[in-house]
Chains A and B, each alone.
Chain A
Amino acid sequence: MDTILQHGLTGISLGGAYALIAIGYTLVYGILRLINFAHGDIFMMAGYFMIFAFANFPWYIAIILVLIATVILGVAIEKAAYSPLRNAPRMSVMISAIGVSYLLQNLATYLFTALPMSYPEIPGLKKILIIGNLTASLVTFITPIVTIVLSAGLIILINNTKIGMSMRAVSRDYEAAQLMGIKLNTTISFTFAVGSLLAAIGSILYFTDRMMVFPFSGSLPGLKCFVAAVLGGIGSIPGAVIGGFILGIGETILIACGQSTFSDAFTFVLLIIILLFRPTGIFGEKVIDKV
């Protein structure tokens, strides 16, 4: 019983980090109909930012710097690689996203070498807590809480603010939204900023637990989180959160059973199953193609 709870806690914690990244995918897909292949690599870069920020500044300033730098990176990528292709075929934009992902990975290899670098320990986060029979570090306990608070905040933002309304409008029909006086580029930039911010927070939680960063540490989690977003219903924030938790827990259970090779495969088997039985995901709405 205790081991089950223990694994459950680990799974929920991993799922929380996944959820934060999945939200970034879901937001961007909702607005641009683009799988932002570079999102996982933005998350990876946030890991490297932390290593360098931490070496030079006290931890609380380092965290703020990491958040700012990641947001700048995300928005810059949108401006440089996606916005010039606004009217290009969708495949071109996807290829551009792959290109950015490839570039970030190669850049990281070039700048930081392919060897893993150790992630700094933010004071307090690794402190071991014992609650009842459960033993885990603080970060494991706070990850799901942070995830839920942030996603609730985001939902409130989207439903109750002006910029949130612009985001909803653009995701429905960006041409019509433009005609209504919504600034398309500002809205898209804001979406990327939010996605990157959440990815940066996710990276702090994820890498504190993993303790290592290397140039490809964003690629597989990135793919998985996109699957999480599809599972929850692409475009839906609660969907992304729940999808992230399902993946995190499922994966942890498989590792606990000694099937770590298949813990990665699990994600994609899950993807195939969703696509077979419920292509719109848990919270997705059915889209009717106009003919």
Chain B
Amino acid sequence: MNNNVKIKNIRNLIISLILILATFAILSFLDSNSDEMGYAISIIERSLIFAVVAVSMNLVNGFTGLFSLGQAGFMAIGAYVTAIFTIPIAKRPSVYYINGINELIANIEIPIPVALILGGLVAAGFAALIGIPVLRLKSDYLAIATLGFAEIIRAIIASPMMDKITNGSYGLKGIPAFNNIYEVFILSFICISLMVLLINSSYGRAFMAIRENEIAAESVGINLFKMKELSFVISSFFTGVGGGMLAMFMRSIDSKTFQLSLTYDILLIVILGGIGSVSGSILGAFIITAGKELLRFFDEPLTIGGVNIPLFKPGLRMVVFSILLMLIVLFWNKGLMGGHEITYDNIGKFFKNLQSKLRLKQASNNKQTIKER
């Protein structure tokens, strides 16, 4: 028994090492051929950033059972905080040339990692404020309050009052980019790992207890409000960091980047991957991001054999995506992972199951052929 566990641990360690090496091999290949692989790199970077945000949405929606829809708003906060404090001072006059820049922030430039964390903290602070009145009540109200909050943030960012800070509706440009794909990978890896560690800790268990049964959770001594607030605030922190990363990835942002449809995109990722599954969310982020790129042809006019197919015009892609979302919700609401995680053991089991299924099928086929004879 003990020996088996040891062998398993060693096996897992070896697989992990191989996977890490393989990942870095792929990353270094992409990085050294960044000119030819630019498109692939940008898809992977975007997927990684969305994976961070999707996992953080899953933390609050999937693991704690609260329905928060404020992702776009928290991302906007993270993105703007990061952008405002990292755009090089020399570049600022050209970014703010129409409205000018507020003197308080004109000469403050902070290192990128600090700015990302600051963005996360500001987002978390707003989440704490919303959480205090709303989390004491049923989670339905949280959905509306966060949705409304996201829209307000967007309106405030674009409002003339904020011209000297957010550059109003012109948005911010010249945000420093990531130097290479490693940075994106390592940042996302750290964020997701922290969340996974949290989910598997005693606090993560308390979150799940709340999701399963609030009254029972309370009866074993879990402070419902404190735990809900904690989950919501931590999730918003990482959403904010994800927003900051998105700003660096896009290099220019404006309030339109953070519309409700951004939240819906992330929701689609979480649902596709499976509510309550971290690996599902990561997988979902890659599938949806890549899928969105691959399906771009839906928006282009299509001509087959000289005949113009009228269906294909701008907007079709998003219609296809929303139909996809509906289909998943209605017919496949467990998503890819159905609340399970991808682990080495599970992969092994999956293939064993597959094998035995195939064998069964073969056996039944054989039987049939025998009968037919």
User: Could you say which of B88-96, B226-234, B244-252, B311-319 contacts chain A?
Assistant: B311-319
B147 at the interface (CB under 8 A from A): yes
Give every chain A residue within 8 A of B69 (Cβ-Cβ): 98
- Contact across chains for B326 and A35 when beta carbons are under 8 A apart: no
Can you pick out 14 interface pairs between chain A and chain B where the beta carbons lie within 8 Å of each other?
A35-B140, A91-B65, A98-B264, A102-B264, A103-B319, A103-B325, A106-B322, A110-B313, A114-B315, A223-B148, A265-B152, A272-B134, A275-B141, A279-B141
Contact with B along A97-126 (1 / 0, CB 8 A): 011101101110111011000000000000
User: Could you say which of A80-88, A149-157, A237-245 contacts chain B?
Assistant: A80-88
Give every chain B residue within 8 A of A107 (Cβ-Cβ): 319, 322
Within 8 A of B (CB), among A248-278: 261, 264-265, 267-268, 271-272, 275-276
Give every chain B residue within 8 A of A35 (Cβ-Cβ): 140, 143-144
- Contact across chains for B159 and A227 when beta carbons are under 8 A apart: no
Chain B residues within 8 Å of A, Cβ to Cβ: 61, 65, 67, 69, 130, 133-134, 137, 140-141, 143-145, 147-149, 151-152, 155-156, 159-161, 215, 260-261, 264, 267, 271, 275, 313-316, 318-319, 321-323, 325-326, 329-330, 333
Give every chain A residue within 8 A of B134 (Cβ-Cβ): 272, 275
Tell me the interface secondary structure of chain A in the complex: helix
A96 at the interface (CB under 8 A from B): yes
- Contact across chains for A227 and B144 when beta carbons are under 8 A apart: yes
Chain A residues within 8 Å of B, Cβ to Cβ: 33, 35, 81, 84-85, 88, 91-92, 94-96, 98-100, 102-103, 105-107, 109-111, 113-114, 219-220, 223, 226-227, 230, 261, 264-265, 267-268, 271-272, 275-276, 279, 289, 291
A88 — nearest CB in chain B belongs to which residue? B333
- Contact across chains for B144 and A96 when beta carbons are under 8 A apart: no
Cα A267 to Cα B155 in complex, Å, equals: 13
Cα A6 to Cα B275 in complex, Å, equals: 51
- Contact across chains for B151 and A223 when beta carbons are under 8 A apart: yes
Cα A114 to Cα B315 in complex, Å, equals: 9
Cα A107 to Cα B323 in complex, Å, equals: 10
A260 — nearest CB in chain B belongs to which residue? B159
- Contact across chains for A272 and B329 when beta carbons are under 8 A apart: no
Cα A84 to Cα B328 in complex, Å, equals: 13
List the 5 closest A-B pairs by CB distance, nearest first: A110-B315, A268-B148, A103-B322, A261-B159, A106-B318
- Contact across chains for A81 and B318 when beta carbons are under 8 A apart: no
**A102 with B67, Cβ < 8 A, contacts A35-B143, A88-B333 known:** no
- Contact across chains for B148 and A99 when beta carbons are under 8 A apart: no
Cα A226 to Cα B260 in complex, Å, equals: 17
- Contact across chains for B148 and A227 when beta carbons are under 8 A apart: yes
**A291 with B215, Cβ < 8 A, contacts A265-B156, A275-B145 known:** yes
- Contact across chains for A264 and B155 when beta carbons are under 8 A apart: yes
- Contact across chains for A264 and B151 when beta carbons are under 8 A apart: yes
Give every chain A residue within 8 A of B143 (Cβ-Cβ): 35, 94
- Contact across chains for B333 and A261 when beta carbons are under 8 A apart: no
- Contact across chains for A103 and B156 when beta carbons are under 8 A apart: no
Q: With contacts A88-B333, A92-B333 known, what are 14 further pairs, Cβ within 8 A?
A: A81-B330, A85-B330, A92-B329, A95-B267, A102-B322, A102-B325, A106-B315, A223-B148, A223-B151, A261-B159, A265-B155, A271-B141, A279-B141, A291-B215
Cα A96 to Cα B271 in complex, Å, equals: 11
**A106 with B67, Cβ < 8 A, contacts A99-B326, A264-B151, A275-B137 known:** no
B153 — nearest CB in chain A belongs to which residue? A265
- Contact across chains for B144 and A271 when beta carbons are under 8 A apart: yes
Give every chain A residue within 8 A of B319 (Cβ-Cβ): 103, 106-107, 110
**A271 with B145, Cβ < 8 A, contacts A102-B264, A102-B325 known:** yes
Instruction: Kindly provide the distance from the CB of A196 to the nearest chain B CB, expressed in whole angstroms.
Output: 19
Give every chain A residue within 8 A of B271 (Cβ-Cβ): 95
Cα A227 to Cα B26 in complex, Å, equals: 50
Instruction: Kindly provide the distance from the CB of B306 to the nearest chain A CB, expressed in whole angstroms.
Output: 24
Q: Which one of A91, A109, A289 contacts B318 once the chains associate, using CB atoms below 8 Å? A: A109
Instruction: Kindly provide the distance from the CB of A18 to the nearest chain B CB, expressed in whole angstroms.
Output: 15
Cα A230 to Cα B140 in complex, Å, equals: 11
Cα A122 to Cα B330 in complex, Å, equals: 40
Q: Which of A95, A107, A261 has the most CB of B within 10 A?
A: A95
Give every chain B residue within 8 A of A110 (Cβ-Cβ): 313-316, 318-319
Cα A267 to Cα B88 in complex, Å, equals: 38
- Contact across chains for B155 and A276 when beta carbons are under 8 A apart: no
Instruction: Kindly provide the distance from the CB of B367 to the nearest chain A CB, expressed in whole angstroms.
Output: 37
- Contact across chains for A268 and B267 when beta carbons are under 8 A apart: no
Instruction: Kindly provide the distance from the CB of A291 to the nearest chain B CB, expressed in whole angstroms.
Output: 6
Cα A275 to Cα B271 in complex, Å, equals: 29
- Contact across chains for A223 and B326 when beta carbons are under 8 A apart: no
Q: Which one of A33, A102, A230, A265 contacts B261 once the chains associate, using CB atoms below 8 Å? A: A102
**A261 with B145, Cβ < 8 A, contacts A92-B333, A106-B315, A109-B318 known:** no
Q: Which one of A81, A94, A279 contacts B67 once the chains associate, using CB atoms below 8 Å? A: A94
A263 — nearest CB in chain B belongs to which residue? B155
- Contact across chains for B144 and A103 when beta carbons are under 8 A apart: no
Give every chain B residue within 8 A of A100 (Cβ-Cβ): 326
Give every chain B residue within 8 A of A267 (Cβ-Cβ): 148
Instruction: Kindly provide the distance from the CB of B150 to the nearest chain A CB, expressed in whole angstroms.
Output: 10
Q: Which of A111, A230, A261 has the most CB of B within 10 A?
A: A261
- Contact across chains for B325 and A272 when beta carbons are under 8 A apart: no
Q: Which of A99, A219, A230, A276 has the most CB of B within 10 A?
A: A99
Give every chain A residue within 8 A of B140 (Cβ-Cβ): 33, 35, 94
Cα A107 to Cα B152 in complex, Å, equals: 25
Give every chain B residue within 8 A of A33 (Cβ-Cβ): 140
Q: Which of B133, B143, B152, B329 has the most CB of A within 10 A?
A: B329
Give every chain B residue within 8 A of A88 (Cβ-Cβ): 333
Instruction: Kindly provide the distance from the CB of B183 to the nearest chain A CB, expressed in whole angstroms.
Output: 33
